[in-house]
Amino acid sequence: MTTAAAMIEVSDVWKAFGALQVLKGITLEVPRGSAVALIGPSGSGKSTLLRCINLLEVPERGRVRVGEHAIDCEHERLPADRELAAFRARTGMVFQLFNLFPHMTALENVSAGPRYVKKASPLAAKEQAMTLLDKVGLSDKAHVYPSHLSGGQRQRVAIARALAMNPEVILFDEVTSALDPELVGEVLDVIRTLAEEGMTMVLVTHEMAFAHEVATTVAFMSDGAIVEIGGPQQVLGEPNNARTQAFLARFHSFQRSFAGGS
Amino acid sequence: MTGVTYSWDFSFLWIYRWLLLKGLGFTLLYTIGSILLGLLVGLLVGLLRLSRSWLVNLPLIAYIEAFRCTPLLVQIIWFYYAFPVLVGIDIPAAIAGMLVLTLYTGAFYAEIFRGGVISIERGQWDAAKAIGMRHAQVLHRVILPQAIKRMIPPFINQSIIQLKNTSLVSTIAVGDLLYQGQLITSATYRPLETYTTVACIYFVILFPMTLGAQVVERRLQRSD
């Protein structure tokens, strides 16, 4: 078994919202240092799966393990607030709409986790936050509020905020979907660097080219299940499943129309 | 046609200046007291209303709607005359008045508080939880600092209305400004001057407050 090497292990995870069964027994292993891209049509459960990995959504059934910590979810019992918080503290997440704290500067956003969750000293938290802002190329914006940052800058602050907790993995939930096209590149650059440094990550994305370039594994989801999983070349280039083919055909026809038009 | 030739004379009120001042003191005491106590009630009830449990919510909703959907005047009379019969304890008018004003404004504050908290986007909760904050920390560090800004304008409005609301305790003989006005009227038979003066005193206090509220509101909007 590869379980010993896997950094994230999702076993038979089920999740429903009311009558809608969103995840139907998902099993997924993410090896340490790898990047898994989740692709698929909207409503297929990609984001819900991501939110189940850090327990922002608690599965009604199944097991989620990140690093050495696992949580078994049973229908009857919700894990305690303390348990969930400790689990999430080790799992970074970056959101489509940034979700920066608007009443805090970039620096305060990044240092909030270490200060309030890890109880780091204000000075230590500040120094670490400056280092991380520098890493994402925003040290000159440390004292600026989110409302005065561009979308790309906000998302880079959000990545720094996730990194500040020294997470074992980072989850990216369509992090470039809300960005103007010219701002996508600067965010992808940061993620690419993290991947090269060996950060374990799971990305929900519609950027097929980026998934192809950065992901070590691509999983195609449809209707609450992973229907095809493999290397990016195989899943994106020569998909076996009919639904994967149909989904990717839309992207390919876009690319063809671009190529034809230019 | 005597009404047309009514000769206004406010001078007699000078004798009663201390009575009016005393009434004003009671009015301010009831206003500030019920605002502070009401805030406490509203904060507690508003926070508990965020719970997902029906067991917690049902009695709180009952309390809030009972006080929001019945006239304050009826509540005051009920608490002073009917409630003592039910529980078999006499409540002094001064306490009944403060109690009802507190519960009444507390019901409104609770909804202002809850409304402010739930107006903050879901994503703020997600982001704060994602870095490992516990529920209370999310509220304290992320949600409330943003929500309070949104609560301030409705809170000020409700508090301004509350000052006028206190005049209703005069019906159970609590010596507020209006009650003193009634006393003066019954002694002098000059309701026009007396009630005009009473109205002016309310206005002189509240008008600057509404202007202040507008300034605060504009400043809050700018800081968004």
DSSP string, B23-65: HHHHHHHHHHHHHHHHHHHHHHHHHHHTS--HHHHHHHHHHHH
Q: Do A100 and B127 count as a contact with CB atoms less than 8 A apart?
A: yes
Q: Which of A82, A88, A116 is opposite residue B130, by nearest beta carbon? A: A88
Q: Are B131 and A162 in contact (CB under 8 A)?
A: yes
CA–CA separation, B99 vs B34, rounded Å?
Answer: 8
Q: Which of B132, B141, B224 sits opposite A88 (nearest CB)?
A: B132
Q: Give the pLDDT band (50/70/90) at residue A134.
A: very high
A126 pLDDT above the threshold of 90: yes
Q: How far apart are CA A94 and CA A203, in angstroms?
A: 10
Q: Which of B51, B122, B131, B139 to mutate to test the interface with A (most CBs of A within 10 A)?
A: B131
Let me know if B69 is exposed, middle or buried by CB neighbors in 10 A (0-12, 13-18, 19+): exposed
Q: CB contact, 8 Å: A245 with chain B?
A: no
Element (H, E) at A230: strand A225-230
Mean pLDDT on B147-159: 92
CA A62 and chain centroid, separation: 20
pLDDT at residue number B224: 62
pLDDT by residue (tens digit) across B85-144?
998 888 899 999 999 999 999 999 999 999 999 999 999 999 999 999 999 999 999 999
- Chain B residues within 8 A of A82 when measuring between CB atoms: 134
pLDDT value at residue A259 = 46
pLDDT at B65: 96
pLDDT (mean) for B35-51: 95
Write the residue in B124, B135, B224 that is nearest to A101 by C-beta.
B124
Helix intervals (H) in chain B: 17-49, 54-68, 72-77, 83-87, 93-118, 122-130, 135-137, 144-165, 177-188, 191-222
pLDDT band at A76 (very low <50, low <70, confident <90, very high): low
Residue A255: pLDDT above 90?
no
Nearest to B141 among A54, A116, A118 (CB): A116
Give mean pLDDT, residues B179-204.
Answer: 95
Residues of B with Cβ-Cβ distance to A118 under 8 angstroms:
132
- Provide the residue type at A218 as one letter: V
User: Chain B: residue nearest A119 by CA?
Assistant: B133
Average pLDDT of span A108-116? 97
Average pLDDT on A77-92 reads 90
> For A109-118, A235-244, A245-254, which range has the lowest pLDDT when averaged over its residues?
A245-254
Nearest Cα to Cα of residue B177 among B200, B211, B210: B200
What pLDDT does residue B107 have? 97
Residue A53 has pLDDT above 70, yes or no: yes
Partner B contacted by A248 (CB < 8 A): no
d(CA B167, CA A128): 58
Q: Which of residues 11-70 of A touch B (CB under 8 A)?
A: 54, 56
Q: Is the pLDDT of residue A86 over 60?
A: yes
Q: Report the chain B residue with the minimal C-alpha distance to residue A165.
A: B131
What is the chain B residue with the closest CA to A81? Answer: B134
Looking at the complex, does the CB of residue A90 fall below 8 Å from at least one CB of chain B? yes
Q: Looking at beta carbons, which residues of chain A come within 8 Å of B128?
A: 101, 112
pLDDT of res. B219? 87
Q: What pLDDT was estimated at residue A1?
A: 43
Asked whether the beta carbons of residue A85 and residue B129 sit closer than 8 angstroms, the reply is: yes
d(CA A236, CA B124): 34
pLDDT bin (cut points 50, 70, 90) of residue A250 is: confident
Contact yes or no for B133/A117 (Cβ under 8 A): yes
pLDDT digits (tens, 9 = 90+) for A35-50: 999 999 999 999 999 9
Which residues in chain B are contacts of A113 at CB distance < 8 A? 131-133
pLDDT confidence of residue A251: 79
CA A183, CA B129: separation in Å to the nearest integer? 27
Contact B128/A101, CB-based, under 8 Å? yes
Report how far residue B199's alpha carbon sits from residue B182's, in angstroms, rounded to the nearest whole number. 12
Mutation choice for B interface testing from A88, A115, A172 by most B CBs within 10 A: A88
Q: Bigger pLDDT: A256 or A100?
A: A100
Nearest 5 degrees, angle CA A45-CA A48-CA A49?
85
Q: What is the pLDDT of residues B200-215, one digit of tens each?
A: 999 999 999 999 988 9
Closest partner CB to B146 (pick from A54, A82, A103): A103
Residue-level pLDDT at B133: 97
Q: Which backbone phi and psi does A38 adopt, to 5 degrees?
A: -100, 120
User: By the CB < 8 Å criterion, does A88 face chain B?
Assistant: yes
The pLDDT score that the predictor gives to residue B106 is 97
Contact A202, A36 (CB under 8 A): yes
Residue B31 has pLDDT above 50, yes or no: yes
Share of chain A above pLDDT 90, in %: 86
User: Does pLDDT of B189 surpass 80?
Assistant: yes
Cα nearest neighbour of A55 on chain B: B130
Please name the residue of chain A whose CA is at the shortest distance from the CA of residue B138: A116
Mean pLDDT on B172-193: 93
Q: Is residue B171 a contact partner of residue B97, using CB atoms and an 8 Å limit?
A: no
pLDDT over 60 (residue A4): no
A225 touches chain B (CB under 8 A): no
Please list every residue in chain B whose beta carbon sits closer than 8 Å to the beta carbon of residue A119: none
pLDDT, tens digit, for every residue of B55-94? 999 999 999 999 999 999 999 999 999 999 998 888 899 9
Mean pLDDT, rounded, for A41-69: 94
Q: Which residue has the higher pLDDT, B3 or A144?
A: A144
pTM, two decimal places: 0.84
A92·B130 Cβ contact <8 A: yes
The enclosing H or E element of B181 equals helix B177-188
Query: What confidence score (pLDDT) does residue B220 get?
Result: 83
Residues of chain A found within 8 Å of residue B131, distances taken between Cβ atoms: 88-89, 92, 112-113, 117, 161-162, 164-165
The pLDDT value recorded for residue A59 is 92
pLDDT at residue A157, rounded to an integer:
98
Confidence of residue B217 (pLDDT cuts 50, 70, 90): confident
Query: Residue type at A250?
Result: R
